[in-house]
Amino acid sequence: CDVLGIKHPVLLAPMAGVSGGALAAAVSRAGGLGLIGGGYGDADWLAREFDAAGDARIGVGFVAWSLARQPHLLDLVLDRAPAALMLSFGDFQPYLSKIRDGQTKLIVQVQTLNQAREALDAGVDVIVAQGTEAGGHGGSRATFPFVPAVVDIAKDVPVVAAGGIADGRGFAAALALGASGVLCGTGFFASDESLASGNAKQATLGGSGDDTERSSVFDLARGLDWPSGWNLRTLRNSFTQRWSKDIDGLKQNLAAEQARFKTAAAADDLDVAAVIVGEAADLVQAIEPAHD
């Protein structure tokens, strides 16, 4: 709380296309830190969502390997003087000097101890230790053993726990593991202010961690060339059932399947389109304001 200037150690995960300005602002105004999901980078979208946040004190998160292809977006964001910038999945080192020239705190998300050591050596302000239970992209370490392992090497650097945390019980457990706070995505996915579709929110309410799996099928369907080592947790549907165990077959039929996916996403057809939530889906019981 001291490092980030917040009242409650609860951070909104910067879910691409879901964590917009209104949701980030709602979390920040409730005393946490809301992070806009910069995702793969869209200057117009980012400007619009920053405007939607009004005067709320918020941050923003990016996929680091994608930001490397659009480095101008960093200047666009830093001109807005965000409270924090969160980088995940890739090399954050090229952005250190520019971020440190301002007042923006740097948060780096990690999935392995080697990544945590690299972040610590670089002197980042906050580390997010993400377990594989998380929705969206992640690694293979489970939250419960991974968080204390990172805490043990972090010394004075705050460690935020992520992955499978969506209520007060998970928050208390994270503190018991030595974390200084929590980062939650799925817990806010079905909030009023979320940019997720109504159908996707309803699917989350009816979903369960049992209904999720990690795969690369939706990255292929969206034409995203994610580096090896990370894949995506989503709810299962007919698309994952058809292709998650036949990646080679999907690649052989990629053009047709990408077109089918694009059509389904536009129509909010969740039998094909993705609902990107994690194992904490069981704990999301209602569509309600993020403040609550």
Q: What is the pLDDT of residues 80-100, one digit of tens each?
A: 999 999 999 999 998 888 887
Would you place residue 146 in the very low, low, confident or very high pLDDT band (cuts 50, 70, 90)? very high
Sheet holding 59-63, edge to edge: 10-12, 181-184, 159-162, 126-130, 105-110, 84-88, 59-63, 35-39
Whether pLDDT at 28 is above 90: yes
C-alpha span between 213 and 235 (Å, rounded): 7
Lowest mean pLDDT among 55-59, 66-70, 82-86, 113-117: 66-70
C-alpha span between 78 and 101 (Å, rounded): 10
Q: How many residues does the chain have?
A: 292
C-alpha span between 70 and 21 (Å, rounded): 21
C-alpha span between 189 and 196 (Å, rounded): 7
